Structure 1
Protein backbone atom coordinates (compact mmCIF):
# COMPACT_ATOMS: atom_id res chain seq x y z
CA UNK A 1 0.00 0.00 0.00
CA UNK A 2 1.30 3.44 -0.88
CA UNK A 3 1.71 6.16 1.71
CA UNK A 4 -0.50 9.25 1.81
CA UNK A 5 2.16 11.42 0.14
CA UNK A 6 2.50 8.88 -2.65
CA UNK A 7 -1.29 8.82 -3.10
CA UNK A 8 -1.50 12.61 -3.19
CA UNK A 9 1.41 12.80 -5.65
CA UNK A 10 -0.18 10.17 -7.87
CA UNK A 11 -3.53 11.98 -7.77
CA UNK A 12 -1.81 15.25 -8.64
CA UNK A 13 -0.01 13.68 -11.61
CA UNK A 14 -3.22 12.07 -12.89
CA UNK A 15 -5.14 15.34 -12.60
CA UNK A 16 -2.31 17.12 -14.46
CA UNK A 17 -2.46 14.55 -17.26
CA UNK A 18 -6.24 14.90 -17.52
CA UNK A 19 -5.94 18.69 -17.61
CA UNK A 20 -3.36 18.54 -20.40
CA UNK A 21 -5.46 16.08 -22.38
CA UNK A 22 -8.59 18.24 -22.04
CA UNK A 23 -6.80 21.44 -23.04
CA UNK A 24 -5.43 19.67 -26.12
CA UNK A 25 -8.94 18.56 -27.10
CA UNK A 26 -10.30 22.09 -26.62
CA UNK A 27 -7.92 23.65 -29.16
CA UNK A 28 -9.78 24.05 -32.47
CA UNK A 29 -8.08 22.83 -35.64
CA UNK A 30 -6.45 25.58 -37.63
CA UNK A 31 -7.73 26.66 -41.02
CA UNK A 32 -5.18 26.12 -43.79
CA UNK A 33 -3.34 29.26 -44.67
CA UNK A 34 -3.60 30.24 -48.31
CA UNK A 35 -0.51 31.46 -50.05
CA UNK A 36 -0.05 32.95 -53.47
CA UNK A 37 3.30 33.14 -55.10
CA UNK A 38 4.75 34.38 -58.34
CA UNK A 39 7.18 32.10 -60.11
CA UNK A 40 9.39 33.16 -62.98
CA UNK A 41 10.43 30.57 -65.51
CA UNK A 42 13.97 31.93 -65.65
CA UNK A 43 14.48 31.58 -61.88
CA UNK A 44 15.01 28.38 -59.98
CA UNK A 45 13.67 29.71 -56.69
CA UNK A 46 10.31 31.19 -55.84
CA UNK A 47 10.23 34.92 -55.28
CA UNK A 48 7.60 35.37 -52.60
CA UNK A 49 5.03 33.56 -50.52
CA UNK A 50 2.25 35.91 -49.47
CA UNK A 51 -0.35 34.52 -47.05
CA UNK A 52 -3.50 36.29 -48.22
CA UNK A 53 -4.75 37.15 -51.72
CA UNK A 54 -5.59 40.72 -50.67
CA UNK A 55 -1.87 41.30 -50.26
CA UNK A 56 -1.09 39.84 -53.68
CA UNK A 57 0.71 42.38 -55.91
CA UNK A 58 -1.40 42.28 -59.07
CA UNK A 59 0.52 43.25 -62.14
CA UNK A 60 -0.68 43.82 -65.63
CA UNK A 61 -1.35 40.45 -67.26
CA UNK A 62 -0.17 41.69 -70.66
CA UNK A 63 3.30 42.37 -69.27
CA UNK A 64 5.14 39.04 -69.78
CA UNK A 65 8.09 40.19 -67.68
CA UNK A 66 5.86 40.43 -64.60
CA UNK A 67 5.37 36.69 -64.26
CA UNK A 68 4.48 33.69 -66.35
CA UNK A 69 2.67 31.73 -63.65
CA UNK A 70 0.46 32.54 -60.66
CA UNK A 71 0.23 29.84 -57.98
CA UNK A 72 -2.14 29.34 -55.05
CA UNK A 73 -2.09 26.85 -52.18
CA UNK A 74 -4.64 24.04 -52.35
CA UNK A 75 -4.38 22.27 -49.03
CA UNK A 76 -2.59 21.63 -45.78
CA UNK A 77 1.05 20.81 -45.31
CA UNK A 78 1.80 17.10 -45.34
CA UNK A 79 4.89 15.01 -44.82
CA UNK A 80 6.87 14.14 -47.93
CA UNK A 81 7.11 10.46 -48.82
CA UNK A 82 10.53 8.85 -48.48
CA UNK A 83 10.93 8.65 -52.27
CA UNK A 84 10.79 12.45 -52.69
CA UNK A 85 12.40 13.66 -49.46
CA UNK A 86 15.48 14.87 -51.40
CA UNK A 87 13.42 17.15 -53.68
CA UNK A 88 13.70 20.94 -53.17
CA UNK A 89 10.01 21.29 -52.33
CA UNK A 90 10.51 18.98 -49.33
CA UNK A 91 13.26 21.10 -47.78
CA UNK A 92 14.00 22.14 -45.00
CA UNK A 93 11.38 20.40 -42.83
CA UNK A 94 10.44 17.45 -45.05
CA UNK A 95 6.92 18.80 -45.65
CA UNK A 96 5.11 19.85 -48.79
CA UNK A 97 1.82 21.46 -49.83
CA UNK A 98 -0.12 21.08 -53.06
CA UNK A 99 -0.36 24.25 -55.15
CA UNK A 100 -2.25 24.97 -58.36
CA UNK A 101 -0.48 27.18 -60.89
CA UNK A 102 -2.21 29.20 -63.59
CA UNK A 103 -0.83 30.96 -66.63
CA UNK A 104 -0.72 34.70 -66.08
CA UNK A 105 -3.45 35.65 -68.56
CA UNK A 106 -5.86 38.57 -68.52
CA UNK A 107 -8.75 36.29 -67.48
CA UNK A 108 -6.80 34.75 -64.61
CA UNK A 109 -5.60 38.19 -63.48
CA UNK A 110 -9.23 39.37 -63.47
CA UNK A 111 -10.23 36.34 -61.37
CA UNK A 112 -7.38 37.07 -58.95
CA UNK A 113 -8.45 40.73 -58.61
CA UNK A 114 -12.06 39.66 -58.10
CA UNK A 115 -11.02 37.16 -55.45
CA UNK A 116 -8.85 39.78 -53.72
CA UNK A 117 -11.96 41.96 -53.25
CA UNK A 118 -14.12 39.08 -51.98
CA UNK A 119 -14.34 38.21 -48.31
CA UNK A 120 -11.90 35.37 -48.83
CA UNK A 121 -14.56 32.72 -49.43
CA UNK A 122 -12.62 30.02 -51.26
CA UNK A 123 -15.77 28.45 -52.74
CA UNK A 124 -16.40 31.53 -54.92
CA UNK A 125 -13.10 31.15 -56.75
CA UNK A 126 -13.07 28.87 -59.78
CA UNK A 127 -9.99 28.23 -61.87
CA UNK A 128 -10.38 25.86 -64.76
CA UNK A 129 -8.20 26.54 -67.76
CA UNK A 130 -4.55 25.62 -67.67
CA UNK A 131 -4.36 24.76 -63.98
CA UNK A 132 -1.20 22.80 -63.24
CA UNK A 133 -0.68 20.99 -59.92
CA UNK A 134 2.71 21.35 -58.26
CA UNK A 135 4.26 21.20 -54.79
CA UNK A 136 5.75 23.91 -52.60
CA UNK A 137 7.84 23.68 -49.48
CA UNK A 138 6.02 24.57 -46.30
CA UNK A 139 6.69 24.78 -42.60
CA UNK A 140 5.91 22.21 -40.01
CA UNK A 141 2.63 20.28 -40.07
CA UNK A 142 0.80 21.76 -37.09
CA UNK A 143 -1.43 18.76 -36.42
CA UNK A 144 1.48 16.32 -36.44
CA UNK A 145 3.71 18.62 -34.39
CA UNK A 146 0.94 19.00 -31.79
CA UNK A 147 0.49 15.22 -31.67
CA UNK A 148 4.25 14.72 -31.28
CA UNK A 149 4.32 17.32 -28.49
CA UNK A 150 1.55 15.60 -26.52
CA UNK A 151 3.16 12.21 -27.11
CA UNK A 152 6.39 13.62 -25.69
CA UNK A 153 4.56 15.00 -22.64
CA UNK A 154 2.71 11.75 -21.99
CA UNK A 155 5.92 9.71 -22.27
CA UNK A 156 7.58 12.04 -19.78
CA UNK A 157 4.56 11.70 -17.50
CA UNK A 158 4.73 7.89 -17.69
CA UNK A 159 8.47 7.87 -17.01
CA UNK A 160 8.01 10.25 -14.06
CA UNK A 161 5.13 8.16 -12.66
CA UNK A 162 7.08 4.92 -12.99
CA UNK A 163 10.16 6.50 -11.41
CA UNK A 164 8.07 7.92 -8.56
CA UNK A 165 6.52 4.49 -7.94
CA UNK A 166 9.98 2.86 -7.86
CA UNK A 167 11.34 5.51 -5.47
CA UNK A 168 8.38 5.20 -3.09
CA UNK A 169 8.40 1.38 -3.18
CA UNK A 170 12.16 1.28 -2.60
CA UNK A 171 12.01 3.79 0.26
CA UNK A 172 9.27 1.72 1.91
CA UNK A 173 11.42 -1.41 1.62
CA UNK A 174 14.47 0.38 3.04
CA UNK A 175 12.41 1.74 5.95
CA UNK A 176 11.09 -1.78 6.72
CA UNK A 177 14.63 -3.21 6.57
CA UNK A 178 15.93 -0.51 8.94
CA UNK A 179 13.02 -1.17 11.29
CA UNK A 180 13.85 -4.89 11.34
CA UNK A 181 17.53 -4.15 12.03
CA UNK A 182 16.61 -1.78 14.85
CA UNK A 183 14.17 -4.32 16.30
CA UNK A 184 16.83 -7.06 16.18
CA UNK A 185 19.37 -4.76 17.81
CA UNK A 186 17.13 -3.85 20.76
CA UNK A 187 15.82 -7.39 21.14
CA UNK A 188 12.18 -7.32 20.03
CA UNK A 189 11.07 -10.87 19.32
CA UNK A 190 8.10 -10.30 16.97
CA UNK A 191 8.62 -8.02 14.00
CA UNK A 192 5.73 -7.31 11.65
CA UNK A 193 6.21 -5.76 8.27
Structure 2
Protein backbone atom coordinates (compact mmCIF):
# COMPACT_ATOMS: atom_id res chain seq x y z
CA UNK A 1 0.00 0.00 0.00
CA UNK A 2 2.76 2.45 0.94
CA UNK A 3 4.68 1.45 -2.18
CA UNK A 4 1.63 2.16 -4.35
CA UNK A 5 1.16 5.63 -2.78
CA UNK A 6 4.83 6.40 -3.20
CA UNK A 7 4.69 5.27 -6.85
CA UNK A 8 1.59 7.45 -7.50
CA UNK A 9 3.19 10.45 -5.81
CA UNK A 10 6.37 9.99 -7.83
CA UNK A 11 4.39 9.64 -11.06
CA UNK A 12 2.41 12.83 -10.37
CA UNK A 13 5.61 14.72 -9.48
CA UNK A 14 7.32 13.53 -12.65
CA UNK A 15 4.26 14.59 -14.68
CA UNK A 16 4.33 18.07 -13.14
CA UNK A 17 8.07 18.44 -13.76
CA UNK A 18 7.69 17.31 -17.39
CA UNK A 19 4.83 19.80 -17.89
CA UNK A 20 6.90 22.66 -16.46
CA UNK A 21 9.85 21.77 -18.68
CA UNK A 22 7.64 21.67 -21.77
CA UNK A 23 6.07 25.02 -20.89
CA UNK A 24 9.53 26.54 -20.48
CA UNK A 25 10.44 25.39 -24.00
CA UNK A 26 7.33 26.82 -25.66
CA UNK A 27 8.04 30.07 -27.44
CA UNK A 28 6.10 33.06 -26.21
CA UNK A 29 4.59 35.13 -29.02
CA UNK A 30 6.47 38.30 -29.90
CA UNK A 31 4.33 41.41 -29.48
CA UNK A 32 4.52 44.60 -31.49
CA UNK A 33 5.62 47.78 -29.68
CA UNK A 34 2.75 49.41 -27.77
CA UNK A 35 2.59 52.51 -29.92
CA UNK A 36 1.53 50.40 -32.91
CA UNK A 37 4.04 52.02 -35.28
CA UNK A 38 6.14 48.99 -36.05
CA UNK A 39 7.72 47.13 -38.94
CA UNK A 40 8.58 43.46 -39.01
CA UNK A 41 12.30 42.85 -39.46
CA UNK A 42 14.15 39.61 -40.07
CA UNK A 43 17.72 39.79 -38.74
CA UNK A 44 19.92 37.26 -40.52
CA UNK A 45 23.56 36.27 -40.22
CA UNK A 46 25.21 35.32 -43.52
CA UNK A 47 28.05 33.59 -41.70
CA UNK A 48 28.51 31.99 -38.27
CA UNK A 49 28.74 34.22 -35.22
CA UNK A 50 26.98 35.59 -32.15
CA UNK A 51 25.44 39.03 -32.35
CA UNK A 52 23.40 41.43 -30.22
CA UNK A 53 21.27 44.09 -31.90
CA UNK A 54 20.23 47.26 -30.06
CA UNK A 55 18.08 50.24 -30.98
CA UNK A 56 20.17 53.38 -30.59
CA UNK A 57 19.64 57.10 -31.04
CA UNK A 58 20.70 58.03 -34.59
CA UNK A 59 23.77 60.30 -34.42
CA UNK A 60 26.58 61.44 -36.70
CA UNK A 61 28.97 59.13 -34.85
CA UNK A 62 28.88 56.70 -31.94
CA UNK A 63 30.98 55.15 -29.21
CA UNK A 64 30.30 51.51 -28.27
CA UNK A 65 29.91 52.61 -24.64
CA UNK A 66 26.99 54.95 -25.38
CA UNK A 67 23.64 53.91 -23.97
CA UNK A 68 20.95 52.47 -26.21
CA UNK A 69 17.16 52.49 -26.23
CA UNK A 70 17.29 48.77 -25.55
CA UNK A 71 18.18 45.40 -26.98
CA UNK A 72 16.10 44.21 -29.92
CA UNK A 73 17.44 40.66 -30.02
CA UNK A 74 20.37 38.29 -29.70
CA UNK A 75 21.21 35.93 -32.54
CA UNK A 76 23.73 33.11 -32.66
CA UNK A 77 24.37 31.17 -35.85
CA UNK A 78 26.27 27.92 -35.50
CA UNK A 79 25.74 25.64 -38.50
CA UNK A 80 27.04 22.66 -36.50
CA UNK A 81 24.50 23.11 -33.69
CA UNK A 82 21.45 20.89 -33.41
CA UNK A 83 18.63 22.68 -35.23
CA UNK A 84 15.93 22.08 -32.61
CA UNK A 85 18.17 23.38 -29.81
CA UNK A 86 18.98 26.59 -31.70
CA UNK A 87 15.47 27.23 -33.05
CA UNK A 88 13.99 26.98 -29.57
CA UNK A 89 15.57 30.36 -28.77
CA UNK A 90 14.71 32.13 -32.04
CA UNK A 91 11.64 34.28 -32.50
CA UNK A 92 9.29 33.79 -35.42
CA UNK A 93 6.50 36.23 -36.22
CA UNK A 94 5.43 34.77 -39.55
CA UNK A 95 7.43 36.82 -42.02
CA UNK A 96 7.45 35.70 -45.67
CA UNK A 97 10.28 34.35 -47.83
CA UNK A 98 12.48 32.48 -45.41
CA UNK A 99 12.90 29.36 -47.53
CA UNK A 100 16.20 30.18 -49.19
CA UNK A 101 18.56 29.91 -46.21
CA UNK A 102 19.08 27.92 -42.98
CA UNK A 103 16.32 28.46 -40.46
CA UNK A 104 18.87 28.67 -37.62
CA UNK A 105 20.56 31.70 -39.23
CA UNK A 106 17.82 34.25 -38.51
CA UNK A 107 15.29 35.57 -36.05
CA UNK A 108 12.41 38.03 -36.47
CA UNK A 109 11.35 41.04 -34.41
CA UNK A 110 9.15 44.11 -34.42
CA UNK A 111 11.10 47.36 -34.73
CA UNK A 112 9.90 50.91 -34.17
CA UNK A 113 9.05 52.55 -37.48
CA UNK A 114 8.01 55.86 -39.00
CA UNK A 115 11.15 57.75 -37.98
CA UNK A 116 14.91 57.17 -38.35
CA UNK A 117 16.36 54.74 -35.83
CA UNK A 118 19.88 53.58 -35.16
CA UNK A 119 20.65 49.88 -35.19
CA UNK A 120 23.79 49.01 -33.24
CA UNK A 121 25.31 45.60 -33.82
CA UNK A 122 27.67 43.97 -31.34
CA UNK A 123 29.48 40.92 -32.68
CA UNK A 124 30.96 38.64 -30.02
CA UNK A 125 33.83 36.33 -30.97
CA UNK A 126 35.35 34.33 -32.47
CA UNK A 127 37.69 34.66 -29.46
CA UNK A 128 36.39 35.05 -25.92
CA UNK A 129 37.53 38.67 -25.66
CA UNK A 130 36.77 39.75 -29.24
CA UNK A 131 33.93 42.27 -29.50
CA UNK A 132 33.17 44.32 -32.61
CA UNK A 133 30.58 47.06 -33.18
CA UNK A 134 28.83 48.61 -36.14
CA UNK A 135 25.90 51.00 -36.38
CA UNK A 136 23.56 52.10 -39.15
CA UNK A 137 20.65 54.52 -39.33
CA UNK A 138 17.56 53.50 -41.27
CA UNK A 139 13.90 54.42 -41.54
CA UNK A 140 11.41 51.56 -41.55
CA UNK A 141 7.81 52.18 -42.62
CA UNK A 142 5.05 50.88 -40.33
CA UNK A 143 3.37 47.68 -41.45
CA UNK A 144 6.10 46.68 -43.89
CA UNK A 145 8.56 43.78 -43.84
CA UNK A 146 12.35 44.13 -43.95
CA UNK A 147 15.47 42.02 -43.75
CA UNK A 148 18.78 43.00 -42.19
CA UNK A 149 21.64 40.80 -43.40
CA UNK A 150 24.95 40.96 -41.53
CA UNK A 151 28.18 39.53 -42.90
CA UNK A 152 30.72 38.61 -40.22
CA UNK A 153 34.44 37.98 -40.61
CA UNK A 154 37.02 36.93 -38.00
CA UNK A 155 37.95 40.65 -37.72
CA UNK A 156 34.46 42.07 -37.24
CA UNK A 157 31.34 42.97 -39.20
CA UNK A 158 32.21 43.40 -42.87
CA UNK A 159 28.81 44.45 -44.16
CA UNK A 160 25.21 45.21 -43.28
CA UNK A 161 22.53 45.15 -45.99
CA UNK A 162 18.97 46.28 -45.30
CA UNK A 163 16.21 45.37 -47.77
CA UNK A 164 12.44 45.62 -47.95
CA UNK A 165 10.51 42.41 -48.62
CA UNK A 166 7.91 43.35 -51.24
CA UNK A 167 5.12 40.80 -51.83
CA UNK A 168 4.44 39.78 -55.42
CA UNK A 169 2.13 37.29 -57.06
CA UNK A 170 4.78 34.57 -57.21
CA UNK A 171 6.49 35.25 -53.88
CA UNK A 172 8.53 38.06 -52.43
CA UNK A 173 10.99 40.45 -54.06
CA UNK A 174 13.95 41.76 -52.05
CA UNK A 175 14.50 45.49 -52.67
CA UNK A 176 17.52 47.28 -51.15
CA UNK A 177 16.39 50.03 -48.75
CA UNK A 178 17.48 53.52 -49.72
CA UNK A 179 18.81 56.08 -47.29
CA UNK A 180 20.66 53.65 -44.99
CA UNK A 181 23.60 55.46 -43.42
CA UNK A 182 26.58 53.73 -41.85
CA UNK A 183 27.47 55.49 -38.61
CA UNK A 184 31.21 55.93 -38.06
CA UNK A 185 32.98 55.71 -34.70
CA UNK A 186 33.34 59.02 -32.90
CA UNK A 187 36.91 60.35 -33.00
CA UNK A 188 38.36 61.63 -29.75
Q: State the TM bucket, normalised to the shorter chain.
A: 0.3 to 0.5
Report which of the two has the higher share of helix: 1
TM-score computed with the length of structure 2 as normaliser: 0.34
Report which of the two has the higher share of strand: 2
Which structure carries more relative contact order (alpha carbon 8 Å, separation 6+)? 2
TM-score computed with the length of structure 1 as normaliser: 0.33
Larger Rg: 1
